[in-house]
Structure 1
Amino acid sequence: MNRSLPTKPEPPAADAGEASPDPASQEPFLAQLLPRTLLWQTFFLIALLLTLALATWSQIFSHFEEPARARSLAQMVASVVNLTRTALINSEVERRTELLIELAALEGMRIYPAEPSDELEPLPDTRGMQLLTHEVRRQLGTHTRFASRWKTLDGFWVSFRLDPDDDQDFWLMLPSERIEQTGAVEWLIWGGGALLAALIGAYMIVSRIGVPLRNLARSARVVGSGRTPPHLPESGPLEIATVARAFNQMAGDLARTDADRALILAGVSHDLRTPLARLRLGIEMSGAPDTDVRAMVTDVEEMDRIIGQFLDFGRGEPQEPLQIEDLPGLLADLAEPYRLRGIKVRLSAPESLAVPVRTLPLRRAIRNLMDNAVRYAGEANPISLTLSSRGDEALIEVADRGPGIPEADMDRMRHPFTRLETARSNTKGAGLGLAIVERIVASHEGRLELRARSGGGLRAIIHLPREGPTRGRGRLLAADSETGDE
């Protein structure tokens, strides 16, 4: 049995002191801030476009609405100034003070004579205010002045004269709320509500694409693991339905091809093993010298073992249900036949470590690793079989003192039907041993790790989740509950 790895390799384990680079840290900072899924990328883009459209529309509306509003406010200011000037001119001198008090109390307007020492603060330099002051000057005269504060009083201050030929100016203050734009909060609320409704609609539209794509990706991962995915619904938009239909057809074709391959391998294996058994019997009864008989029988056994590898590989992912297994006992049972053959097996395991596993496939995987160790290290060298736990994993390690696999060639050896002839010149077999082990370990949602052994040799480490694979955990719990009910 040759050492090879499956088509889906696990990255080599990093040393304890070596930190593996984080791919995300190598991306630009801006790329890390952006969403990664199609759903949120599209939603973010639509939200950005809607926000920009709303902001642009607001600016356009404001640009064309400001002149009309400025003319309306200027007409109101000019009318108030003209009415106030007329009232002051036509009122009796002794009643002007009473008139000013009434204007301040009822209308919030204040009138003061202008003086050269007045402390003034100009109006904000905005487009709307410029349009307003220009229009007011056009109606009241170029001598009109404006301010946002007179001494310590804030408001909209505008100057006027009782007589155009008079040099004496008066300040008239209008409350700021009469000049400021009203309804801004209402406009903001309505605009935000419209934007929110548009974003909800955009999310619903994008999710109609995102959900089928997530289902497709999930089914593709199922196909990649060697299993048959559930049937995708062929509904929705035409493009999505077409993709789902094509994927269902592809998955069905792959399942039929898998079934045909397993059937062919099983038939070929059965048809070949029968003549091989007759051939071995004939060799043993041929009367040839013992050395020749042993050599030919060894070749027949190797052929039978290769056929077994093809059959194991053709079975696909193990379908055996999970069951709680005491791993120390399982390893002791596996080590005993090798000890009876005179092979030293150093077993190191805790007293008890129960893990949900598929027992027969796992036994086959460990036996493959032990056969590899015996074949490449020789029967004279001991095999180390170690069981330990680390975090939420159970670790089964098979170590030998054979030639090992060079670090540079481990990636190349991750494919089935690949053999390292230079490292192990006496290699025989089809190169499926580690591919079978990897497939069995993957069915447990674990991983197979290969490391060079200090002092020479190879360490093959099986990582198994102590809680069992998630795909079979529900069936295991259901079986346990049924057993408890009985």
Structure 2
Amino acid sequence: MNRSPPVKAELSAALAEEPAPRPSAWRVASLSHFLPRTLLWQTFFLIALLLTLALATWSQIFRHFEEPARARNLAQMVASVVNLTRTALINSETERRTELLIELAALEGMRIYPAEASDELEPLPDTRAMKLLTDEVRRQLGTHTRFASRWKTLDGFWVSFRLDPDDEQDFWLMLPSERIEQTGALEWLVWGGGALLAALIGAYMIVSRIGVPLHNLARAARVVGSGRTPPHLPEKGPLEIATVAKAFNQMAGDLARTDADRALILAGVSHDLRTPLARLRLGIEMSGAPDTDVRAMVADVEEMDRIIGQFLDFGRGEPQEPLQMEDLPALLADIAEPYRLRGIKVRMDAPKNLEVPVRTLPLRRAIRNLMDNAVRYAGEDSPISLIVSAREGEALIEVADRGPGIPEADMDRMRHPFTRLEEARSNTKGAGLGLAIVERIVASHKGRLELRSRNGGGLRAIIHLPIQDARRGRARLLASDDPAGE
């Protein structure tokens, strides 16, 4: 007996309007990714990427094989709900059907509506899991079964059914989306994230066994580059790292022995060359030759002795003398006094007291080199300006002359050893080591050498030294005035 017309009328009268659900909006945030530069973090990044891809791949594999079984279970549940609903509607008393529909909506969240040709429908998502589910439901309920994700304004899992197989009238049954969607996704995410985190911690521990020895090796290499003997590296760990550490320790030992041999050779050169030069000068002065010839030969001997001194100074490498507090104005006044006794005009402008931690003997040598250059290139009749000042945490020592100067384009080149500017200073002698020695000494103080052209002609050589107290790491500047350089 066909009972679909009465049921259709009752369903239309019993169902109330449902409010339209609010649309959802998704916002996608763009993130900036920066590739790491160190080997440690590059390796860690690659391992982390590999672990993440592996976890994602295994998740997809698990999902691929888990989806058919889950689809069968969900299809069985949907078919059972539809069959039970059909049976309840057919066998319920007419006056109780409206009450039944209300209870299904209130207690189970299910909605039942008669299908119309004008119904506005949205299809289900086109995914593998949803296709497996719908195919299995059609197999159990019949090929006439239809599906939708929205009926008019209501979202859910919509499935059509007929009260009687011979009836052409369809009804829509809505199941809440929560019953169809996969549950436990958050738990899977938490466990997967925990497994990934544990794997990343293990990866970092593995990578650090390579990164830490390489960091120690780089630090020791910087010590070697500064001219000092590095600490002994531990020759342990992986075979490759231990081999590199052993080779580095052997290299550092060879360099230390070479440095000791160099110091011995320099001492021999100082004795074996300067002693004959002294005898040669004495012989020239006692030779009875004309005074003009004697002065020329003595000047040549002195130039040879000066060049040997420059080679010795440059060969000594970075000064090893410890820092000690020194009063710069008093130090420069002491250096300038011999030049004044030779009749050279030295103009000095300095505060009363400016104490700076320096290596006294190397700094004396650097300032004397700058003053010798000023005398050599500007002449003994031209005055030399010595200026001491303090500015922005630095002590400045300036030696200025009125010589031919250095073109701006060649100032950096002149800092290199064995470099001379023949075009500007063609009548001078020397090995081209003066500024290179000053540069090395200033660098050992963690300072810098600045070369500038002087207004009116000449060169300004400015030594910048950091001011810091030996005990507290800050300056002690006791001066009533702060002169400015020319």
Question: What is the CA-CA distance between 1:464 and the residue it aligns to?
Answer: 1.2
Partners of 2:376 and 2:211 in 1: how far apart? 52
Q: Distance in 2 between matches of 1:369 and 1:37?
A: 42
Q: Post-superposition shift, 1:175? A: 2.3
Q: How much does 1:410 deviate?
A: 4.0
Cα deviation, residue 261, structure 1: 0.9
Give the superposition deviation at 1:403: 2.4
Distance in 1 (alpha carbons) for counterparts of 2:169 and 2:140:
19
Which residue does the alignment assign to 2:286?
Answer: 285
Once the two structures are overlaid, the 10-residue window that deviates more, 346-355 or 219-228, is 346-355
Q: CA deviation at 1:275?
A: 2.9
CA–CA distance in structure 2, aligned partners of residues 241 and 170 of structure 1: 78
Alpha-carbon distance between aligned partners in 2 of 1:198 and 1:351, rounded to the nearest angstrom = 66
The answer to whether structure 1 residue 373 and structure 2 residue 365 are counterparts is no
What is the identity, as a one-letter code, of the residue corresponding to 2:250?
Q
Partner of 1:387: 388
**Shift of residue 193 of structure 1?**
1.3
Residues 194/32 of structure 1: CA separation in 2 closer, same or farther (3 Å cut): closer
Is 1:342 aligned with 2:379? no
Aligned 1:82-481 pairs, distance under 5 A: 82-116=83-117, 118-467=119-468
Amino acid paired to 1:255: A
Q: Residue 425 of structure 1: CA displacement?
A: 2.3
After superposing the two structures, state which structure 1 stretch, 106-115 or 68-77, moved more: 106-115
CA distance in 2, matches of 1:31, 1:446: 39
- 1:367-399 CA distance string (max 9 Å, x none): 111011101111011112222233222221212
Query: Gaps (5+ residues) in structure 1?
Result: 1-29, 479-486
- Cα 1:463/1:204, change in 2 over 3 Å: same
Change in CA separation of 1:310 and 1:31 when aligned onto 2, cut-off 3 Å? farther
The amino acid of 2:354's aligned partner reads: L
Mark the CA change 1:244 to 1:190 in structure 2 (over 3 Å): closer, same or farther.
Answer: same
Question: 1:23 — aligned with what?
Answer: none
Cα shift at 1:187:
0.9
What is the distance in 2 between the residues matched to 1:274 and 1:379?
28
TM superposition shift of 1:136: 1.3
Of the structure 1 ranges 315-324 and 96-105, higher mean CA displacement relative to structure 2 is found in: 96-105
**Deviations, residues 407-465 of structure 1 (Å, cap 9, x unaligned):** 44445434323333343223323332222212211111112222333433222221211
Counterpart of 2:461 in structure 1: which amino acid? A
| 1:54 aligns to 2:55 (yes or no) | yes
- What SS does the corresponding residue of 1:158 show, helix, strand or coil? strand
SS at match of 2:353: coil
| Higher mean displacement: 48-57 or 315-324 | 48-57
Give the distance between the partners of 1:31 and 1:332, measured in 2 at CA: 59
Structure 2: gaps (5+ residues): 1-30, 474-486
Structure 1 residue 149 displacement after superposition: 3.7
Q: Quick one: distance in 2 between partners of 1:186 and 1:153?
A: 29
| Aligned residue identity for 1:317 | E
Deviation for aligned residue 1:282:
3.2
The amino acid that maps onto 2:231 is: P
After TM superposition, the structure 1 stretch with the greater mean CA deviation from structure 2, 264-273 or 99-108, is: 99-108
Answer yes or no: is the 8 Å Cα contact 1:262–1:311 preserved in 2.
no
The equivalent residue for 2:28 is none
Normalising by structure 1, report the TM-score: 0.83
Give, in whole Å, the separation in 2 of the partners of 1:461 and 1:371: 15
Residues 419 and 427 of structure 1 are in contact (CA less than 8 Å); yes or no, is this contact kept in structure 2?
A: no
How far apart, in 2, do the equivalents of 1:75 and 1:438 lie? 87
Moved more, 31-40 or 183-192: 31-40
SS in 2 for 1:353: strand
How far, CA to CA, are the matches of 2:472 and 2:264 in structure 1?
Answer: 33
Map Cα deviations across residues 343-364 of structure 1 (whole Å, 9 max, x no partner).
1122222333221111111111
The SS at the match of 2:159 is strand
- Report the Cα distance in structure 1 between the residues aligned to 2:42 and 2:85, rounded to whole angstroms: 61
Q: Flag the 1:342–1:455 CA change in 2: closer, same or farther, 3 A.
A: same
Larger RCO (CA under 8 A, 6+ residues apart): 1
Q: Residue 277 of structure 1 aligns to which amino acid in structure 2?
A: A
CA contact (8 A) 2:347 2:385 kept: yes
- Shift in Å, 1:129: 2.1
Letter in 2 for 1:389: A
Stretch of structure 1 that moved more, 372-381 or 53-62: 53-62
Q: Equivalents in 1 of 2:131, 2:351: separation in Å? A: 88
What CA distance in whole angstroms lies between the structure 2 residues aligned with 1:271 and 1:352?
A: 42
Q: Which moved more, 1:344-353 or 1:239-248?
A: 344-353
1:46 to 1:81, Cα distance in 2 relative to 1, 3 A = same
C-alpha displacement of 1:123: 2.9
8 Å contact kept, 2:349–2:386? yes
The amino acid across from 1:383 in the alignment is I
Q: Which residue of 1 aligns with 2:39?
A: 38
Query: What is the percentage of aligned positions where both structures have the same residue?
Result: 90
Q: Secondary structure at the match of 1:448?
A: strand
- Cα offset for 1:114? 3.4
Query: In structure 2, how many angstroms separate the alpha carbons of the residues matched to 1:289 and 1:367?
Result: 32
- Whichever residue aligns with residue 455 of structure 1, its letter is G
Separation in 2, partners of 1:420, 1:119: 91
CA deviations over 1:41-90 (Å, ceiling 9, x no partner): 22222222322333333333333332332222112111221222233334
Amino acid at match of 1:178: R
Is the contact made by 1:119 and 1:150 (CA closer than 8 Å) also made in structure 2?
A: yes
Check whether the contact 2:414–2:435 (CA below 8 A) recurs between aligned residues.
Answer: no
Which deviations, in whole Å up to 9, do the C-alpha atoms of 1:267-314 show, x marking residues without a partner?
221233333333333333334333333223222222222232232223
The residue type paired with residue 395 of structure 1 is: L
Asked if the contact 1:395–1:462 (Cα under 8 Å) also holds between the matched residues in 2, the reply is: yes
Cα gap change, 1:268/1:70 in structure 2, threshold over 3 Å: closer, same or farther? same
Q: Please give the root-mean-square deviation of Cα atoms over the aligned residues, in Å.
A: 2.6
8 Å Cα contact 2:416-2:435 kept in structure 1: no
Between the aligned partners of 1:256 and 1:456, the Cα distance in structure 2 is 47
The whole-number CA distance in structure 2 between the counterparts of 1:112 and 1:422 is: 103
Greater Cα offset, 274-283 or 210-219 = 274-283
* More off after superposition, 349-358 vs 92-101: 92-101
- The residue that corresponds to 2:64 in the other structure is 63
Whether the 8 Å CA contact 1:234–1:245 is kept in 2: the answer is yes
